[in-house]
Chain A
């Protein structure tokens, strides 16, 4: 495995008396597509929130490219190049698709206030560059025919794409996708898998939380399986598919027998 870009070191999270995560310990290699799966309530979203600063772990440490994330604010973590998408509210609904991506480009346009207000040449150039970049991203994601529609009026699947375009606009080194294909139909999912691969080929590491098993099996290099706040299995899709603990977690004892018969 390549040098880890993200390392999750014995992380635990308790909400009052409830242990959401007891001991999470894994690494993500540079350029990898890693999926985090597990039944509902296994702690996937909690893990996501811990990695992006929306929650602070009660024990353990998360490091991104050697920088410990404890104590950093979410926007500071974003500045390091660790960008996430959201399960449900993945867009700015009352802005156009194009403007959504422009907002996502925020990190690229850090100009002085006076420069922006006086519209000095540097500000104009930066604004033009951002608009070109936004148009390019909208086109790349395949939504140019929707560029001037309000993001809130798009279909679920299209909103997910906007969410990804937004996240890419922030120039991530690593992208955390929270159930990106839920609500998509089979062909949309298929397109999305291609998209994830292309993003990875551009040098972005990907961590995926997803319920859609065929999709996860197809796209992942490696899978980490969570149940009751712990890791119960870790490995390539091949290994996970045949792991008895995973089959039991998902299908229960009867499932295990069924799998044995199969």
Chain B
């Protein structure tokens, strides 16, 4: 999408709370927004490097737990009388740590699996998510297991001496999520338009050729995995501090599937794809709930997904953007190459 369309979308999202005051819908928008951030991070891997992470929720969940535990503090016996004690830190520190630790996990998974890639990466990520879920479920001293971590503080922002603002209301959280989403979008956009992004595209399209012109496969893919995992961790942290209670269910496989649906329906490999797909499939259940019984809701959900992929197999954005004249890449290249070509003929 071109810059103008992106800014119009951003303005529309900013204006939403001005005309939508229903707290139930605002809540749905916030959780959808958090999942859209997750979907954007998944798209960086799936859409721009072609690697499918089916355990992507692991990075999200790790972010949620790291952030929650950092701001709640813990006292964990390791062996005998030896305890690891952590006193609560401000939630914003938890947010930063969530990004760092989720990113580090992305690095480990990437290093482990990118030597082989493809199906192996899918399997490693699924297993990783399951292992992390079992740890969260069984390491009761640290995570409370199925009893859940409760009373997680809301995120507060501010500077020492200037006072703090605790983001407790839905309105505040909406803008917090929107800000993080916009930053993630910008980060991914800049990354994929840089020469790192070109290396990723090259690897996805023709790996042997990419390697032959000097692109380092493992390094490039690991970089994408680290950034993707870090963004997912940020989303997890937002989730923990907004919902304020988390249990091992945050690692549910269905959440990964939801993100994949958002990415694939919106259009993988397009920046706006996960946003559009996310808005549709994040809010669809909310609109279906009052008008039909639960069984019919899921059937309709599946029906809409099938219909979209049947009519627009490449996803909504890649198919519709060129029709609306919003395709950025072509014009971008043409504008910069054309003057040189003209010079040549002159």
B226, closest chain A residue (CB) = A113
Q: Is A6 an interface residue (CB 8 A)?
A: no
Q: Is B209 an interface residue (CB 8 A)?
A: yes
B199, closest chain A residue (CB) = A106
Indicate if the CB atoms of B209 and A79 lie closer than 8 Å.
no
Indicate if the CB atoms of A83 and B190 lie closer than 8 Å.
no
State in angstroms the CA–CA spacing of A85 and B206 once bound together.
12
In the complex where A75-B217, A167-B213 touch, is A132 in contact with B340 (Cβ < 8 A)? yes
CB distance from A165 to the nearest CB of B (A): 11
Q: Is A116 an interface residue (CB 8 A)?
A: yes
Q: Is A179 an interface residue (CB 8 A)?
A: no
Q: Is A94 an interface residue (CB 8 A)?
A: yes
In the complex where A103-B210, A170-B213 touch, is A95 in contact with B341 (Cβ < 8 A)? no
Indicate if the CB atoms of A123 and B341 lie closer than 8 Å.
no
Q: Is B202 an interface residue (CB 8 A)?
A: yes
Indicate if the CB atoms of A93 and B205 lie closer than 8 Å.
yes
State in angstroms the CA–CA spacing of A170 and B195 once bound together.
13
Indicate if the CB atoms of A94 and B205 lie closer than 8 Å.
yes
**Chain B 179-200 interface 0/1 with A at a Cβ cutoff of 8 Å (1 = within):** 0000000010011001110110
Chain B residue total in the interface (Cβ 8 A): 32
Indicate if the CB atoms of B215 and A139 lie closer than 8 Å.
no
Interface centre among B198, B201, B209, B213 (most CB of A within 10 A): B213
CB distance from B116 to the nearest CB of A (A): 15
Indicate if the CB atoms of A92 and B206 lie closer than 8 Å.
yes
Q: Is B5 an interface residue (CB 8 A)?
A: no
Indicate if the CB atoms of A106 and B215 lie closer than 8 Å.
yes
**Chain B 314-341 interface 0/1 with A at a Cβ cutoff of 8 Å (1 = within):** 0000000000000001100110110011
Q: Is B344 an interface residue (CB 8 A)?
A: yes
A118, closest chain B residue (CB) = B190
In the complex where A102-B198, A106-B198, A117-B191 touch, is A148 in contact with B209 (Cβ < 8 A)? no
In the complex where A92-B209, A93-B206, A116-B190 touch, is A136 in contact with B340 (Cβ < 8 A)? yes
Q: Is A33 an interface residue (CB 8 A)?
A: no
State in angstroms the CA–CA spacing of A109 and B199 once bound together.
11
State in angstroms the CA–CA spacing of A89 and B187 once bound together.
32
State in angstroms the CA–CA spacing of A109 and B208 once bound together.
20
Indicate if the CB atoms of B211 and A74 lie closer than 8 Å.
yes
Q: Is A96 an interface residue (CB 8 A)?
A: yes
Q: Is A257 an interface residue (CB 8 A)?
A: no
**Chain B 10-21 interface 0/1 with A at a Cβ cutoff of 8 Å (1 = within):** 000000000000
**Chain B 239-268 interface 0/1 with A at a Cβ cutoff of 8 Å (1 = within):** 000000000000000000000000000000
In the complex where A75-B211, A99-B198 touch, is A135 in contact with B205 (Cβ < 8 A)? no
Indicate if the CB atoms of A86 and B208 lie closer than 8 Å.
yes
Q: A138 — which chain B residues lie within 8 A by C-beta?
A: 337
- Partner of B209 from the list A91, A113, A117 (CB cut-off 8 Å) is A91
**Chain A 78-89 interface 0/1 with B at a Cβ cutoff of 8 Å (1 = within):** 110001111001
Q: Is A119 an interface residue (CB 8 A)?
A: yes
**Chain B 216-231 interface 0/1 with A at a Cβ cutoff of 8 Å (1 = within):** 1100000100000000
Query: Can you identify 6 A-B contacts, CB atoms within 8 angstroms?
Result: A93-B206, A95-B201, A96-B330, A103-B201, A111-B195, A147-B334
